[in-house]
Structure 1
Amino acid sequence: MAATVLLFDLGDLRRKWGWFLALGIVMIVFGMIALAIMPAATIGTVLILGWLMIFSGIVEAVHGFQVRSWGGFFLHLIGGIVGVLIGLLVVTHPVAGALAWTLLFASFFTVIGLFRLIAATRLKFPNWGWAAFDGAVTLL
């Protein structure tokens, strides 16, 4: 049954391919605009992420109060407060926030790349070479 659903979905995709083409073109145009005004795009992205952190921190803290009897109440509450505080720092200091995000992502990709490379070379699962290649590219 799952295969027939998948084939039906592919039929819909084939008939409406123009929308995917239009979406791709729009994304390319927006990407070129972002590259042309990179500092503004960076600050804008950092501000959006900061506001998302503030909002999610508030929601997490409110949810923490709603489940006060749960054993993880304090962790939930502290996580929400930390999210709000970091979001406020990012919104009030967007350039420092951009530098911090850059450092965070660089660290993340370095660790993930190393893990993938080590796991692929140690476990030698089927097609492990592609996973090792992925890990090496992620390290770059």
Structure 2
Amino acid sequence: MNTLAGNRWLLFVLLGLASIALGAVAWIDAISVTLASTVIFGVLFIIAGAFQLVHAFALRDWGSFLFTLLLGVLYIVGGGLLIEEPATGSVVITVFISICLIIGGAIRCVIAFQNRMLPGWWLMLLGGLATLAIGVMLYATLPWSGLWLVGTLIACELIFAGVGWIQFGLALRRGSAIIETRTF
């Protein structure tokens, strides 16, 4: 720990500050971040589709050649559509996320009711209801929610990661100070 903690703790803190700053920028312009992310998803789908096609032709004698080929073509077409229409693509992504939240929230509510005899079961119910409500609200506010959701999620991830890196760096600094005190 001593070699990592030395003066390197500051690098973790700086990484955290940079991440928080980028998260704040993403939060301020969540729509642009959403659209840019959707285009990047499209590029990644096209790359994945190209690899899928190469894989299909490299293993042509494999029993699933046609399915592998079809999957590669679908990836490429889907990626092209995301690049061509990032706003529509972000709405589709938001529909998927909202459906997942609705289903996940409903399942947690059922699990909570099935385990009513356990203390604290209502916390799972509360979490499930919150997740369900968020999913319904996202779906109900389409297409608008599709424009800001992905960018906002990216902003939140950057900010939370930044806070984590700062905490980690400061913990390394405190740990280094404790180790140095003990060695004297």
* Offset of residue 103 of structure 1: 1.2
Query: SS where residue 62 of structure 2 aligns?
Result: coil
Instruction: Work out the CA distance in 2 between the residues paired with 1:68 and 1:111.
Output: 39
The alignment status of 1:99 with 2:91, answered yes or no, reads yes
Say whether 1:59 aligns with 2:51: yes
2:63 aligns with one of 48, 71, 76: 71
Q: Percent identity?
A: 26
- What displacement does 1:69 show? 2.2
Which one has the largest radius of gyration?
Answer: 2
Count residues with an aligned counterpart: 130
CA distance in 1, matches of 2:3, 2:131: 31
| 1:90 partner SS | helix
Query: Is the Cα contact below 8 Å between 1:120 and 1:128 reproduced in 2?
Result: no
For 1:49, the equivalent position in structure 2 comes to: 41
Matched residue, 2:174: none
Moved more, 107-116 or 63-72: 107-116
* TM-score when normalising by structure 2: 0.58
Within a 5 Å distance, the mapping from 1:1-140 to structure 2 comes to 11=1, 15=5, 16-119=8-111, 121-122=113-114, 129=121, 132=125, 134-139=127-132, 140=134
What's the CA shift for 1:96? Answer: 1.1
- Aligned partners of 2:11, 2:119: CA distance in 1, in Å? 35
Tell me, which stretches of 5 or more residues in structure 2 are unaligned?
135-184
Q: Secondary structure at the match of 1:69?
A: coil
Compute the RMSD of aligned alpha carbons.
2.9
* Aligned mates of 1:115, 1:48 — CA distance in 2: 32
Contact kept, 8 Å, 1:51 with 1:87, in 2: the verdict is: yes
Matched AA of 1:67: L
Deviation string for 1:69-91 (max 9, x for gaps)?
22222222111111110110110
